[in-house]
Amino acid sequence: MMAVLEAFWQALYATLGPRLNWALLVLPALVVGFTVHEYAHAWMAVRLGDPTPRWDRRLTLNPLRHLDPVGTILVLVAFVGWAKPVRWNPANLKGVSYRTGALLVAAIGPVSNLGLAILGALVLRQLKVMGVVSGEGVLPVVMDVLGVFVAFNVLLFVFNLIPLPPLDGYTVLRSLAPSSWYTALAVLEQYGTLVLILLLFWPGSPLGRFIGSVLSGILGVLI
């Protein structure tokens, strides 16, 4: 019986091992990146006078308030996912126009991920200076986790600034666009999510190549 169980676990690991290793590496980046991103949206909205995120208990760094179970699992198994969006009410903003408020609330999410990536890159560089680049033990594993952490947060920064709904980049575009663009933006708002899905999963999509090139360029500067 033990031999059967051992053979089962060996076969299971041979099938899922690489994916499990990926999940363990990306989980810290996912939890921190998604949590800080959504907290940043909530913080900015509250800072500008809207109490809605506070009422929704989103003004917290507790990951359980921000992570979507399905979106989290999909990131780990299918490399695509999402967190719970932060609700906010532009009618509650004080001291800023709707366009300025929407711009600030939307932009702070991706900017927070860039900040996390820079922080992780600084730690990673320091470890490299210390000579922790290979071998066995805890520190090389930490370096792998940090490398994924930096790359994942840069990816969140780049991806969320794509100007298609429902991403933050679309809100940024809409906030900056002149009134003559409103008709085109209304069409984009209606069909943009479908366009985004098609671009993400279309084989050889230019969006994938664009994200990859920008991601490589930023990572080249950071690490």
Q: State the pTM of this model.
A: 0.88
User: Angle at the Cα of 80 (from 19 to 160), degrees rounded to 5?
Assistant: 135
Query: What is the band of 18 on the pLDDT scale with cuts at 50, 70, 90?
Result: low
Task: Decide if pLDDT at 4 tops 70.
Answer: no
* Active-site residue list: 38
DSSP 68: -
Strand partners, 223: none
Q: Does position 79 have pLDDT exceeding 50, yes or no?
A: yes
Residue predicted with more confidence, 15 or 38: 38
The 10 Å CB-count burial string (b at 16+, else e) for 52-83 is: bbeeeebbbeebebbbbeeebeebbeeeebeb
Other CB atoms within 10 Å distance of the CB of residue 216: 11
3-state SS assignment for residue 83:
strand
| pLDDT tens per residue, range 103-155 | 999 999 999 999 999 999 999 888 877 766 555 555 677 888 899 999 999 99
Q: Where are the domains of the chain?
A: 24-73+88-222
Phi and psi torsions of 89, nearest 5°:
-120, 110
Confidence of residue 5 (pLDDT cuts 50, 70, 90): very low
